[in-house]
Amino acid sequence: MSQPDHPSEQDDAGFTLLEILVVLAILGLLVGLVAPAALRQLGGARVSVAQQSIARIGTVLDMYKLDAGTYPSTEDGLDALVHRPSGAENWNGPYLKGSGAPVDPWKHPYIYRFPSDRDGKDYDLCSQGPKEGDHSEEICNP
């Protein structure tokens, strides 16, 4: 077996502990900088999806009104778009796919009121936003 002529000619295979720690520190910094931005984008995307869903459900509510002559009552709620409410003679649904009323991107039920509590609106259709019960971040029909 031949041996290296000098000890400095030995193969240095692998990483030192210091090199591994430096790489882990760099990865930790990158995750610390990128993760908050990614989470902000995710939150913004959910708000956008909620706004688009409210607009789409509003269109479906208008179709319901064309058939039934009025919007569903607050008591019947959005479930009236899936199941025929009592007293709805010209109901031509279901107007939405699925077995129940739609939920927002945070999996909370939409808030629906007819007539509206707001001036100039026929009905209120709102998402509570990320925190259930917190009305400060409500997203409502325009």
Structure confidence by residue, pLDDT tens digits, 27-77 = 888 888 887 777 776 667 888 899 999 999 999 999 999 999 999 999 999
The terminus-to-terminus CA distance of the chain in angstroms comes to 84
The answer for residues whose C-beta is within 8 angstroms of residue 60's C-beta and 6 or more apart is 81, 95, 96
pLDDT tens figures, 98-129: 888 899 998 999 999 999 988 999 999 999 88
Token representation of residue 77: 């709620």
| C-alpha count within 13 angstroms, C-beta hemisphere, residue 73 | 7
pTM of structure = 0.68
Geometric angle at alpha carbon 60, from 57 and 66, rounded to 5°: 145
